Chains A and B, each alone.
Chain A
Amino acid sequence: MSCSPTLRCAPLLLTLAACQSTPRLSTEHVGSVTEVAGTLPGIHLVSPVPNGDWRLPSGDYANTRFSPLAAINSSNVMNLHVLTTASTGVPHGHEGNPLVVNNTLYVVTPFPNNLIAIDLTKPSGAIKFIYEPHPDPRSVGIACCDVVNRGASYAGGKIVYNLLDAETVAVDAETGKEVWRTRVGNIDIGETTTMAALVVKDKVLVGSSGGELGVRGWLVALDLDSGREVWRAYQTGPDRDVLIDSRFHAFYKKDQGKDAGVTSWPGEQWKLGGGNIWGWVSYDPELNLIYYGTGNPGVWNPDLRPGDNKWSCSIVARNPDDGHVVWAYQLVPHDHHDYDEIMENVLVDMDWKDRKLRKLLFHPGRNGFMFVLDRQTGELLSAEKFQDSTNWASGYDLETGLPKEDPSKHTGGGRIVRDVCPSSTGGKEFVPSAFSPRTGLLYIPAHNTCMDYEGIEANYIAGTPYLGADVRMFPGPGGYQGELVAWDPVRARKVWGVREEKLPVYSGALATGGDLVFYGTMDGFFRAVDARTGAMLFQFHTGSGIVGNPMTYLGPDGKQYVAIYAAIGGWMGAVAFPDVSADDPYAALGVVGAMTEIKKVTGPGSTLYVFGL
């Protein structure tokens, strides 16, 4: 039985009682809603949230990872059980999450980046097609942190995603035929693409990976229909390359001035300057602005790049039509610790402290601070530590936008700086948080990991790592290394946390209308906790550590399902692989020291799990 949420199916759906209680919309926002029952007063959702289908990497443009589906809730979640599983056959880190569109579930695998379409109308999910793009295998050796892919977008009948070898593809969602394929970067200079391509209107937004290989970060916009490049914006270099013009208004003086992407670097170091965009892009359809964070400056040893190193470690707001920058705010000038700030930016309109509705941007930072910005102007409204161990800075000066840094934690050549918290992997990693308009809380998958950091010499050899640092990480103080933190962004405080003793939380979060928060752990537990109290209501031990993001959808039977990848990998998770030796704490860019337990509790996997009642 085939049943897509279009009008032709309406008579059939009406015969099913379950469908009547969860009617689908037949507008262009099929499967999504802007009004959520139980939304707290003083909260406005910027973009429709997924209410059946899940068509964008984060479900919605605002990166809330919230679904109003409430059939699974605190009264019945303990009855959740595995309904089906599917192996992708690729035993590497499955970051990201599936999409569900028109009763088809789409999985993008890590390299070789196959697209697997599963027909949800068939028992146990029959495979509809597998698209195999065969990216260049040389890209495997230049991917810094496992051969991951963080997801896809659906738009215009196409599934659009990135291949590891710096290509973007659009695949017909019905037939699995390649519609177009565009080379966006060059693996010979270390460029890869791992982020989840986001489709905004008629454009596909793709950013670079390669901050560990001296890649000069960029964001490109491709035409959704043809794959043709429409604009390209670099994150370093002259204003004309960054697409900064007279329409640019940085809120803080430190971020103003001409050609800062050149003048904040020594010589031509900006050409190897990093600032890559390997995380998440958000979009505000009301302001017509996209938001994203940029990665670390190249090279890791800060002595080799005196200056602010713009626009690394920044949040950037651009107009998606021509790419011009509207504002930018550098969270950390002259990064000393490899604090990429590519983390998700969650867009919510919310009553601020003065009780006035403000257009906010939440950025749980890798550097351990939870940032709240006015997303119209780029003004920093709040920056508080969400992990107590954070010690590289004591706080932020809201007048200047600058961190109050502890100079004793500044790294450099010829000395080992000890006990820097968080480590380069951050107070949280790229794994995205979730926001519930019913609780007003942001659910942050957090880490408590610290490090010793020594700057060393660095030689640029195209296509090889350009690091200049010898790093070893270890669990932070307090007897835990991971925590799901429920954070009140207006009061700037933690409401509750669920701690993991041995390993960081390296999965994304999902918040639902059932007042549940779903997440996974690196030792393979898939969990649901009460969104208001953090009480653990459900857990299931999957076959591999979880580094993907939970998502939820309505099946053709109108019932709610929850899906998650269980397949360890990624930067920290790759320590579970046989290719990494546990006796070298400096291995895998220093994460092995923090991950000594992982081989004992999990191993490689490649499985999609689907849960239901």
Chain B
Amino acid sequence: MSKKSVAFNVLVGALALSSSAAGCGSRPTQPAAGARTVSYAPWGTRVVVNQPLGPVPGIGDIAPVANPFGNDRTALEEGRKLFVQFNCAGCHGGRAGGGMGPSLRDPAWRYGSTPDRIFNSIAQGRGQGMPSWGARIPEQQIWLITAYVSSLRTPDEPEAPR
């Protein structure tokens, strides 16, 4: 976990504390010792917890997390199966070319194309209809789907359209 995300979460904790305390008439200016940090999702995977939702202001960025499955062929095929089983194909297209949801084959990525960003888009959900799958799909399977999505339009893509 980076220093930036720790700091950000403490700040959120402080805001939460001060707003609840304000109703009691007191106005603490410092967060109490050991104030609980707030994470964005209840399921608490190592990627999702404390991960900023957008670009972090300031110099530098958080190093992307690599996909543990890389382009392992079995993993990609498994990811392809999950892509169908969890109805991703219904929205994003039979071979992820888009439809109800945007194409995942093209170079346009609203929320980033690195594996950690794709993971977060699946786990957290995105506006305009992408559900939050983190509570329903185990972390390892999200990585498998991420691996499949990353393989689209590459020679490694399983069941590529003819």
Contacts and interface: CB of A to CB of B under 8 A. Distances in A.
Nearest to A471: B94
A168 B128 CA distance: 20
Given A142-B129, A578-B108, A579-B103, A588 B97 contact: yes
Contacts of B90: 212, 464-467, 589
Given A137-B127, A138-B128, A465-B87, A586 B100 contact: no
Interface in A508-527: none
A96 interface: no
A461 B106 CA distance: 26
A236 to B, nearest CB: 21
A144 B129 CA distance: 11
A414 to B, nearest CB: 14
A579 B95 CA distance: 14
Interface string B91-120: 101111111111101101000000000000
Interface residues of A, number: 38
A463 interface: yes
Contact of A464 (B93, B98, B127, B131): B131
A141 B101 contact: yes
A139 B100 CA distance: 11
Contacts of A574: 99
Given A579-B103, A580-B103, A587 B94 contact: yes
B161 interface: yes
Contacts of B91: 141, 464-465
Given A459-B86, A463-B131, A464-B131, A588 B101 contact: no
Contact of B129 (A140, A145, A472): A140
B98 A137 contact: no
B84 A457 contact: yes
B145 to A, nearest CB: 14
B94 A470 contact: yes
Label chain B's interface by main secondary structure: loop
B11 interface: no
Interface string B124-144: 000111110000100000000
A456 interface: yes
A147 to B, nearest CB: 9
Nearest to A591: B99
Contact of B87 (A145, A464, A472): A464
B30 interface: no
A140 B128 CA distance: 5
A584 B105 contact: yes
Given A465-B91, A467-B90, A584-B103, A456 B98 contact: no
A581 B97 contact: yes
B22 to A, nearest CB: 30
A592 interface: yes
A193 B106 CA distance: 30
B154 interface: no
Nearest to A143: B100
B86 to A, nearest CB: 7
Contacts of B29: none
B85 interface: yes
Interface string A554-597: 00000000000000000000100111111111111110100000
Contacts of B85: 457, 459
Nearest to B84: A456
A598 to B, nearest CB: 13
B161 A586 contact: yes
A579 B153 CA distance: 16
B97 A592 contact: yes
Contacts of B97: 580-584, 586-588, 592
Interface string B65-101: 0000000000000000000111101110111111111
A580 B105 CA distance: 9
A582 to B, nearest CB: 8
B129 A138 contact: yes
A453 B49 CA distance: 42
Contacts of A139: 129
A603 to B, nearest CB: 15
Nearest to A464: B87
**Among B99, B102, B131, B161: residue with most chain A CB under 10 A:** B99
A568 B90 CA distance: 22
A456 B159 CA distance: 14
Contacts of B130: 141
B96 A584 contact: yes
A583 B105 contact: yes
Interface in A433-464: 456-457, 459, 461, 463-464
28 contacts: A138-B129, A141-B130, A145-B100, A457-B85, A463-B131, A471-B94, A472-B94, A577-B98, A578-B106, A578-B108, A579-B98, A579-B108, A580-B93, A580-B103, A581-B93, A583-B105, A583-B161, A584-B93, A584-B96, A584-B98, A586-B93, A587-B93, A587-B98, A587-B99, A588-B98, A588-B99, A589-B99, A592-B97
Given A467-B89, A589-B90, 5 more contacts: A140-B129, A459-B86, A584-B96, A586-B94, A586-B95
